[in-house]
Chain A
Amino acid sequence: MSDGIGARVKRKEDKRFITGKGKYTDDIRMENQAYAAFVRSPHAHAKVKGIDASGAEAMEGVIAVHTGPELKADGIGDIITGWAITSRDGNPMKTGVWSPLVTERARYLGDAVAIVVAETEALARRAAEEVEVDYETLPAVVGAPDALADGAPQVHENVPGNLIYDWELGTETATDEGLARAAHVTEIEVTNNRLAPNAMEPRSAIAVFDEAEDHYTLYTTSQNPHVARLVLSAFYNVAPEHKLRVIAPDVGGGFGSKIYIYPEEIACLWASMKTGRSVKWTSTRSEAFMTDAHGRDHFTKLKMGFDESGKITAFKVDTIANLGAYASLFATVTPTYLYGTLWSGQYDIPAIYGTVRAVHTNTVPVDAYRGAGRPEATYMIERIMETAAREMGMDPAELRRINFIKEFPYQTQVLLNYDAGDFPTILDMAQKAADVAGFPARRAEAEARGKLRGIGYSTFIEACGLAPSAAVGSLGAGVGLWESAEVRVNPVGTIEILTGSHSHGQGHETTFAQLAADRFGIPIDNVSIVHGDTDKVQFGMGTYGSRSGPVGMSAIMKALDKVEAKVRKLAAHTLEASEDDIVIESGEVKVAGTDRKMAWHEVGLAAYVAHNLPPDMEPGLKEGAFFDPVNFSFPSGCFICEVEVDPETGVTEIVQFTAADDFGTIINPMIVEGQVHGGVTQGIGQALLEEAVYDETGQLLTGSYMDYAMPRADDVPFYVVEHGCTPSPNNPLGLKGCGEAGAIGAPPAVINAITDATGNNDLQMPAAPARVWAALNTARAPMAAE
């Protein structure tokens, strides 16, 4: 079926984007639009002793200047974190208070101290420069281990020692025993470098307050408009939900950074009420570097024990995670239940134990960024496996094969129960596609040219398709993670699918439509997807965590099931046949083995005209469904990276990158490949190029593309992408999700390849040329068994 499940359908949404007619938030302008700019702390840590806005307020075109204490006095609530984590001593976690605008203390560079509203954006920004803030600077702490040291500056008075929680998972005694009896123990330390997400569209918000109705509308660059509405209403007290409409129009990428409800959206909503004007704010890229949630930032010590044959006996982890100045929405779960639960990787590990200490520092809040916890887990596991293979003189693929989980379902030692997978087949597939057999010859040829070639593996699994509501609730989540859909068949037979998912690049307007086209055999042009507007679409949890396939599409399937059931019943009644004999295909509803049929559009019409409905059937043809997964989904894969390092400069060229993935069923291979390309490129970016760096006073050294290295077209090759398939048994289509895999699996493959090329295993991300050159020119950590 050319538009159905499995087809490479070209994207319906492309037309507006390729002709410049997309409607992103900054493209929208209200009548009589006013603009906001923020006064931001230039210090990483400072008391705000006073604010004098008189100079700014006197400027022509300035409408108002408002501050944190005023916002608080109006009852606007503090920013919440959505997941309660309990420390291993049984105590609940401690987090500092996060007011949308600073009330007493600024705690990171860029912390918003006041909002300025003016007639133009330029005026607002000029006026912001004229607001005088009396700061008393305080010592700042930037690095997570430093934040835990005795005598470190305290970021929040109510979080002693800056320690938010000290969490554990697994079985400590069994793990220590497993390490003690191991024939070989490998021990390494890894840094998971701090990243700035950098969706190409900066954040933007337009708040409109309708005084006559006491109603707010917020246009926002959000991955989850309903969640934004819920949080703004229930926690930030902006307005009751039914008086707040949130619209996420075209959104230019998110990668997690647009999940959260930031200070700016809250302040703009409140300011629109205070000033009686619609208030619009668009971030500059410099602001984005300072204020969009960063990702990753872990320090980890790890130990893995092996028996004589190379089978893992135990695995122990100790992580320090930097959450930044305030705990953001998913910040507390990213280094715990999205991380620790993946400590088994693809391997059968009988004993696992780890601890995670999360800390506050004077840096911008850290939260989920493509992969959220799973890249951090994958990186350290795949690095230690490769390291161990080298130490034990084993082939790294062989070591993995020996330890692969081979039977499913598999209950790990860290809560998760993997449903389906076939790791050896995917590894074979990747090795063949990467021509691993030919590598030694390629290495020799490169050497003759004075270049060092290396090859590196990453075999990874992820928990995606967030998430079973009861399960996450029992682990401390404040929300459920089901998804919703409504399928409306119009009287003339066209279909609208209202989805609680949101598309900000994932192609849902096409892939979701493929489901209906496939089910009823109707042209895909007759199916529209509606998303992103809380007035139009029922409550949904939004898009992140590779969930729009396994959870979002499953909700659509359930709704389609209900529509199909009603269509059968109606057709059976109209055509005087048994429901069992009704066949729906190619846009017709027929009685099998006869020529009695109705065209698809006739069914819709019959339902709405309602002249001849079966008894007890309501008119109309519209069904809704909510899908709550019973388990996470478990995409897995094997990535093989081949690099060439220039020993004179330390520059790494990615000469080949092979991605073999098992995403279960694939709805649109073209879209899925695109997700892999993009995710892998972000993973390569993390491994080779990117790092968000603060100096010791908390100034951001990487505040623009001048210093933050983004992957560009000449940094990466064409990718080789293969697919295996073990369908997930836990949703109707067998989907596992694909959005994060590239970012999760790629970094260790790259670093394993570079360390293979240089012969020095001691290398941290990003492997920038200077670092690789240093690794080539300093004393080496022994690579092979002595």
Chain B
Amino acid sequence: MAEISMTVNGKAVKRSVPDNTLLSDFLRENLRLTGTHIGCDTSQCGACVLHVDGKAMKACTLLAAAVDGSTVTTIEGLANGDLHPMQKAFNDNHGLQCGFCTPGMIMSGVDMVVRYKAEGRELTEEAIRHELEGNICRCTGYHNIVKSIQQAAAEM
């Protein structure tokens, strides 16, 4: 068993879990934060993307124990009273249909906008599509997802 402490969405969390607990299961089953979704078992679909210490990572491919001491932000923690500009952009632009890939898309979107701004690089349409390589959507055809990220990038 591992004694795990971390900050999740601004709150200190402390649990004792089996060592082989994935971060995704820790969030979904132990903390009942079910917004982080499981869409595959080969770490490719991106539905589980969240932020650990400010960086996009796949919750299904991290042990909770390995994230001990870190700061985790899930989709549930993105809004701060008001919706985050990325969340609002997805609603404004019809960037979601069934909603299952959406948490990962939004978290990946925020990550790429922040990174490109920090690096002084332009987040072009081509760059967005490339940065979404690890996020699969079956419903939207990505058209409105890219538009949503473009809108948020302009506002963030």
CB-contacts of A59-73 with B (<8 A): none
CB neighbors of B among A116-170 (8 A): none
Closest Cβ neighbor of A668 among chain B residues: B94
Q: CB of A674 within 8 A of chain B?
A: yes
Chain B residues within 8 Å of A20, by CB:
33-36, 74-76, 103
Name the one of B28, B75, B100, B128 contacting A252, with C-beta atoms under 8 angstroms.
Answer: B100
Contacts of A253 in B (CB 8 A): 97-98, 100, 138-139
Question: Is the CB of A741 closer than 8 A to any CB of chain B?
Answer: no
Nearest neighbor of B18 in chain A, beta-carbon distance: A122
Residue of A19, A504, A706 near B44 (CB, 8 A) is A706
Query: In the bound complex, do residue B138 and residue A713 qualify as a contact, i.e. CB atoms below 8 Å apart?
Result: no
CB < 8 Å neighbour of A11 from B74, B91, B132: B91
Known: A253-B139, A713-B133, A718-B125. A285 touches B42 (CB 8 A): yes
In A1-54, the 8 Å CB interface with B consists of 10-11, 13-24, 26-27, 29
Contact (Cβ within 8 A) B138 A198: yes
Q: Would you list which residues of chain A between 245 and 263 have a CB under 8 Å from chain B?
A: 250-253, 255
* Segment at the B interface, from A547-555, A676-684, A729-737: A676-684
Bound together, the chains give a CA A680 to CA B141 distance in angstroms of 7
Q: B35: which A residues are within 8 A, CB to CB? A: 19-22
Contact B37–A19 (Cβ < 8 Å): no
**Within 8 Å of chain B (Cβ to Cβ): is A465?**
no
The answer to whether A674 and B140 touch across the interface, beta carbons within 8 angstroms, is yes
Give, as a whole number of angstroms, the nearest-CB distance from B148 to chain A: 10
A389 near B: Cβ within 8 Å?
no
Cβ-defined contact, A18 with B45, below 8 A: no
- CB-CB nearest in chain A for B103: A20
Are B99 and A252 in contact, with the CB atoms below 8 A?
yes
B76's partner among A13, A21, A24, A252 (CB-CB below 8 A) is: A21
B65 contacts chain A at the CB level, 8 A cutoff: no
- Interface residues in A621-641 by Cβ distance below 8 A to B read none
Question: Cβ of A670 < 8 Å from any Cβ of B?
Answer: yes
| Minimal beta-carbon separation of B123 from chain A (angstroms) | 13
Sorting the interface of chain B by its residue count into under 10, 10 to 19, 20 to 34 or 35 or more gives: 35 or more
Query: Is A93 an interface position by the 8 A CB rule?
Result: no
* B40 close to chain A: CB less than 8 A: yes
- Tell whether B83 is near chain A: CB-to-CB under 8 Å: yes
The distance in angstroms between the C-alpha atoms of A201 and B128, with both chains bound, is 24
* Minimum CB–CB distance for A467 against chain B, Å: 24
Asked whether, in the complex, the Cβ of B100 is within 8 Å of the Cβ of A201, the reply is yes
A670 to B94, CA, bound (A): 7
Q: Are B41 and A286 in contact (CB under 8 A)?
A: yes
CB distance from B92 to the nearest CB of A (A): 7
Contact in complex: B97, A678 (CB < 8 Å): yes
B138 contacts A17, CB within 8 Å? no
Q: Which of B75, B99, B102, B136 has the most CB of A within 10 A?
A: B99
How far does the alpha carbon of A711 sit from the alpha carbon of B101 in the complex, in Å? 14
Q: Is B15 an interface residue (CB 8 A)?
A: no
In the complex, per-residue mask of B19-39: 1 if CB is within 8 Å of any chain A CB, else 0: 000000000110001111111
B98, A713: Cβ atoms under 8 Å? no
Closest to B86 in A: A18
Interchain CA distance A16-B47 in the complex, whole Å: 16
* A704/B41 contact (C-beta < 8 A), A20-B103, A713-B128, A718-B125 known: yes
State which residues 31-64 of B face A: CB under 8 Å: 33-42, 44-45, 47
Tell whether, in the assembled complex, residue B96 and residue A18 are in contact, meaning their CB atoms are under 8 Å apart: yes
Q: Which residues of A483-508 have CB atoms within 8 Å of chain B's CB atoms? A: 504-507
Residues of B within 8 A of A742 (CB): 141
A671 near B: Cβ within 8 Å?
Answer: yes
Docked Cα-Cα span, A685 to B5, in Å, equals: 43
Query: Chain B CB within 10 Å — which of A20, A253, A285, A678 has the most?
Result: A20
Closest B residue, CB atoms, query A284: B41
Chain A residues, CB < 8 A from B41: 284-286, 704
Determine how close the nearest CB of chain A comes to the CB of B135; give it in whole angstroms. 7
Interface residue from B33, B34, B74, B101 paired with A200 (Cβ < 8 Å): B101
- With beta carbons under 8 angstroms apart, the residue of B39, B74, B130, B138 that contacts A714 is B130
Answer yes or no: A608 CB below 8 A from chain B CBs.
no
Interchain nearest-CB distance for A427 vs B (Å): 23
Asked if B153 is an interface residue, CB under 8 A from chain A, the answer is no
B113 on the A face (CB < 8 A):
no
Interface range for A = 35 or more
B106 at the interface (CB under 8 A from A): yes
CB within 8 Å of A: which B106-137 residues: 106, 125-126, 128-130, 132-133, 135-137
Q: When the two chains form the complex, which single residue of A10, A11, A16, A200 contacts B39, counting CB atoms closer than 8 Å?
A: A200
Q: Report the minimal beta-carbon distance from A9 to chain B, rounded to whole angstroms.
A: 10
Residues from chain B with Cβ under 8 Å of A200 in the complex: 37, 39, 45, 47, 98, 100-101, 136-139
Residues of B within 8 A of A674 (CB): 94, 97, 139-141, 143-144
Residue of chain A at shortest CB distance from B92: A10
- The answer on a CB contact under 8 Å between A24 and B141 is no
Interface membership of A655, Cβ < 8 A:
no
- Shortest CB distance B100–A (Å): 3
For residue A367, give the distance in angstroms from its CB to the closest CB of chain B.
Answer: 17
Please state if B38 and A10 are interface contacts (CB–CB under 8 Å).
Answer: no
A199 at the A/B interface (Cβ < 8 Å)? yes
- What residues of A have a CB within 8 angstroms of the CB of B103 in the complex? 20
How far, in angstroms, from A722 to B129 measured CA to CA in the complex?
23
B39 touching A671, Cβ below 8 Å: no
A712 an interface residue at 8 Å Cβ cutoff? Answer: yes
Task: Convert A648-680 into 0s and 1s, putting 1 for each residue whose CB lies closer than 8 angstroms to a CB of B.
Answer: 000000000000000000000011011001111
In the complex, are the beta carbons of B87 and A199 less than 8 A apart? Answer: no
Chain A residue with the shortest CB-CB distance to B140:
A678
CA distance A19 to B38 in the complex (A): 16
A202 beta carbon closer than 8 Å to chain B: yes
- In chain B, what residue has the closest Cβ to A677? B141
A719 within 8 A of B: yes
Judge whether B39 and A202 touch: CB under 8 Å.
yes
Shortest Cβ gap from B114 to chain A (Å):
18
- By a CB distance below 8 angstroms, the chain A residues around B8 are none
A705 within 8 A of B: yes
Question: Contact partner of A18 among B44, B87, B138, CB < 8 A?
Answer: B87
A17, A22, A27, A282: residue with the most chain B Cβ atoms closer than 10 Å: A17
Hey, which chain A residues are within 8 Å of B29, CB to CB? 29
Q: How far is the CB of B133 from chain A (nearest CB, A)?
A: 6
Point out the residues of chain B lying under 8 angstroms from A26, CB to CB.
34, 38
B98 contacts A714, C-beta separation under 8 Å: no
From known contacts A507-B97, A681-B142, infer whether A713 and B132 are also in contact, taking CB-CB under 8 Å: yes
**Does residue B79 face the partner (Cβ distance < 8 Å to A)?**
yes
Supply 8 A–B pairs (Cβ within 8 Å), ascending by A: A10-B94, A19-B35, A19-B75, A20-B35, A200-B137, A252-B99, A682-B141, A713-B130
Q: Name 17 extra pairs, CB < 8 A, besides A201-B100, A677-B141, A705-B40.
A: A10-B92, A10-B94, A18-B99, A19-B78, A23-B34, A24-B37, A27-B28, A199-B138, A200-B100, A202-B38, A285-B45, A506-B97, A673-B94, A704-B42, A713-B130, A713-B135, A718-B143
What 3 A-B pairs are tightest by C-beta distance, nearest first?
Answer: A20-B35, A252-B100, A17-B99
